[in-house]
Structure 1
């Protein structure tokens, strides 16, 4: 059975080098986990890793469908978007939790890095698309996904990290040090294409 430390760093099928997850300092976590849950040990028969180009076949898009509308995406479209994200080296960090028993993705979250001119040409992080499969909720996996991305963002040297969430989720995100800001978040939605 594949273990976290066995993930090859030279495997070109990953969105980003798995070594980034291996090398984060788990001692800097701001929240605690029961049962020794960590990036290296997300649970029985589970592995946390970067998104891979073949995750289309492991129900990745179906999982995202539990969060929001996904639309009809063919394998070719998935692979093309994956390659576009990968070419933006240092911008997209999508992690997944794979259930090795059933060969499917049961959790995911994304860290997007914005490269700026402000803050001495600094980087800003944004966490998005946090979702855990209905069957696996309540097992600390959402907490693990967010904590991992916060630690990755720190390792990458962002000057700030943010996320959008519903009001009832604010206490959950406060566990990781997120605070409500005085700024107002505004949005403009355009008609969906599908």
Structure 2
């Protein structure tokens, strides 16, 4: 009498065994796959802002794989970015991740896997206001092919949402005079005057 394990009717065939082994290996690879890290928690993304975007757009934290999705192509429409390599991008990303003070938000067109807008909130700790925090809104840019879709306004509302969630008592930004009316529509008010000075080829003193 054949035992159940030796019964040819119940024992898996060689092909079945190979198939099961392949499936198991595939699952193991998925489980061990390196998932790109976000710069900050997606819990800080506003569901209300996401709901206002076109169906194939997503607003989210910058991810360490966004270099390949045109992040710098988008930024370059705002200002000079320099010749940034993938290595330098990853190094800067890791530094920001450790500092936990930079909240770079992107809007991605999922159909094209392309970054079409981005903006940054930089957290600054203060000794005033009971050692409070303020948020600096920086580097707001929408790709030229995407303008007219209110993505810039949605980005500002998202960055203000982050600022409130992390406990900032206010947000501030600097902008060109021609953009003042746009930012007023986003709920900001005109206050004070910006002054600046650029340094030629700044060289950091790493031992300080």
TM interval, shorter chain, is: 0.7 to 0.9
Query: Which residue pairs with 1:184 in the alignment?
Result: 193
Q: 1:141 aligns with which of 146, 151, 155?
A: 151
Query: Scaled by the length of structure 1, what TM-score is found?
Result: 0.82
Task: Find the counterpart in structure 2 of residue 81 from structure 1.
Answer: 92
Q: Could you state the TM-score of these two structures normalised by the residue count of structure 2?
A: 0.76
Q: CA contact under 8 A between 1:126 and 1:162: conserved in structure 2?
A: yes
Q: Which residue of 1 aligns with 2:41?
A: 17
* Residue aligning to 2:81: 70
Structure 1: tracts of 5 or more residues without a match: 1-10, 27-37
| Superposed displacement of residue 84, structure 1 | 0.2
User: Which residue number in structure 2 is paired with residue 46 of structure 1?
Assistant: 57
What is the SS of the residue equivalent to 1:73?
coil
| Aligned partners of 1:40 and 1:48 also within 8 Å | no
RMSD value over aligned CA atoms?
1.5
List runs of 5+ in structure 2 lacking aligned partners: 1-34, 203-208
| CA distance in structure 1 between the aligned counterparts of 2:127 and 2:159, rounded to whole angstroms | 23
Post-superposition offset of 1:22 = 4.3
- 2: distance between equivalents of 1:111 and 1:127? 5
- Counterpart for residue 104 of structure 1: 114
Which residue of the partner structure matches residue 162 of structure 1? Answer: 172
Q: CA separation of 1:22/1:167 partners in 2, compared to 1, >3 Å: closer, same or farther?
A: closer
Indicate the structure whose relative CO is greater, using CA pairs within 8 Å and at least 6 residues apart. 1
* 8 A Cα contact 2:44 2:161, kept in partner: no
4+ runs of 1 displaced by more than 3 Å?
A: none
- Structure 2: how far apart are the matches of 1:192 and 1:43? 41
> Are 1:106 and 1:136, in contact at CA under 8 Å, matched by a contact in 2?
yes
Is the contact between residue 111 and residue 126 of structure 1 (CA under 8 Å) also seen in structure 2? Answer: yes
Deviations 1:60-118 (A, max 9, x none): 011100000001011000000000001012x1111101111111101100000001121
- Normalized per residue, the structure richer in helix is 2
